[in-house]
Amino acid sequence: MNLKNCFLIGSIFKFHGYKGGLIIFNSENILIDVTNATHLFIKIDNGLVPFFIESIKKAKKNNFLVKFSDLNSEEDVKQLLKKEVYIDKKLIIHEDTKSPKISLLNYKVIDNDKGDLGMIYEINKQTAQELLYVKNDVYDFCFPVNNFFIKSIDNISKEIKVEIPTDILNLN
């Protein structure tokens, strides 16, 4: 598989159990279609080597628990620790929080603790990380688009539930 057709989902973090199970740390909390994933690619000596999946499931927010076929002990998987893990780009699940569309303009931003923060009036995709600009009667502020801040997007009511630290509100 060509690297340009793959997406880095994380690295092998540690063993799980003694029968060859592994935990993949997924720092960006990327969602993958585990029901259709038959194999993952592990970068070994600058090449991508396919490993066929016996089982895979989301263990925690940023972790996948994986058991590869033909790897049945700690010794079998020891060489894979700290290696990068890739998946075919077709198996990435895209969410609105990952790539906001122009349709997010005029969405209401509601903080779980602070309540109504205002309306999105601009989306800046020119920076390294996309920014959402919010305006209300008191102030304007912006925040990066990522799952740390955005908790959910409701396209029907045009609301975005967020958790924005007070420090970010005070920066702007």
Q: Is the domain of 87 the same as that of 7?
A: yes
Structurally, the chain folds into a number of domains equal to 2
pTM of the model: 0.53
Question: The domain spanning residue 37 has which CATH number?
Answer: 2.40.30.60
Q: Is the domain of 139 the same as that of 64?
A: no
Query: Which is nearest to 76 in space by CA: 6, 9, 16?
Result: 16
For the CA atoms of 171, 103, 136, 150, what is the dihedral angle to 10 degrees?
-50
Query: Which is nearest to 81 in space by CA: 69, 66, 60?
Result: 66
Domain that holds residue 43: 3-91
- At 113-134, the pLDDT tens digits run 999 999 998 888 777 778 889 9
Q: Is residue 75 part of a domain?
A: yes
Question: The domain spanning residue 111 has which CATH number?
Answer: 2.30.30.240
3-state secondary structure of 29: coil
Strands, sheet with 115-124, edge to edge from the N-terminal-most edge strand: 140-144, 131-135, 115-124, 108-111, 159-162, 150-154
- At 39-85, the pLDDT tens digits run 999 999 988 999 999 988 877 778 888 998 888 887 878 889 999 99
Q: How far apart are CA 138 and CA 66, in angstroms?
A: 49
- Biggest distance spanned by C-alpha atoms of the chain: 62
Q: Is the domain of 85 the same as that of 14?
A: yes
Q: Is residue 97 part of a domain?
A: no
What are the C-alpha distances in Å from 37 to residues 15, 86, 97, 127, 143? 21, 11, 22, 32, 33
